[in-house]
Amino acid sequence: MILERFLYLSAKFIGFFVYNLFFAIEVKGRENFPKRGGFIVASNHLSFLDPPTIGYVCPRMLHFFAKSSLFKIKGFSKLIKLLGAIPLERDTSMSLVLRKGLEILKKGEGIVIFPEGTRSINGIIKDGKPGIGFLAVKSKVPVIPVRIIGTDKALPVNKKFIRIAKVKVFIGKPMYFENGNYTEISKNIMDVIRKLK
C-alpha cells in the first residue's frame, strides 16, 4: 500500500510537468469528482493517453481495464498494476468484466470506463455500449461524464511516440441512475459527454 501510494504520487508529480509543458493541459470541472465513495468515470476514447490523462486530472486514485499484452512487458507490468490497471484478456466475457467493475465500486473506489469500447479513429464520439448502464444501475454510484480533446493529436492511433499538442479535459456534473434501460442510460451518458465543452 505504501509503495502503491508512492508510485501514484510520483506519477502525479511527473504528470504535472508532462501535461503542462508538452500538452498545455486545460481542465474544467475538476470539482465534480466526488471526494469519497465509489464512482464511475465515463469518458470518450481517442488515444492510449486517455487513461493516464484522466488519472492525472482526477484527485483520487482510479482503476482501469488494460489489454493483457501490456502486462507481459517486464517492469512495466508491475508499474501499471500498482497504478490501478486491471488486465483484460482478449476473450474475457463482458459479464466477468462487469462483475469485477462492481466489486471495485462496492469497495468505495473509482473506475474509468470508455463506453465506446474502443478508440475513435476520426475523433467522432460514437454510441456507448450498455455495460455502463448496467454498472450505473447496479452500483448506484455517480457517473462522472468526461470529454477529452486533443489526446489523438498528442498520441495518434498507430503511433508510438507522443508529440506536442493542446489537451483539454471537461468534467461534467455527477449523473445518477436508480433504474432504467441500460442502452438508454448509455445513450444519455454519451449525449452529455458530447455536449461538454
CA distances, 120 to each of 111, 163, 176 (Å): 20, 19, 26
- Taking the complete model, does pTM exceed 0.85, yes or no? yes
What total number of domains does the chain contain?
1
CATH code for position 188? 3.40.1130.10
- In the chain, the amino acid numbered 149 is I
For residue 74, the model assigns a pLDDT of: 63
Provide the residue range defining the domain that includes 16: 2-195
pLDDT block averages, 10 residues each, the chain of length 197: 74 87 95 97 94 92 79 64 71 76 94 92 92 95 98 89 94 95 97 96
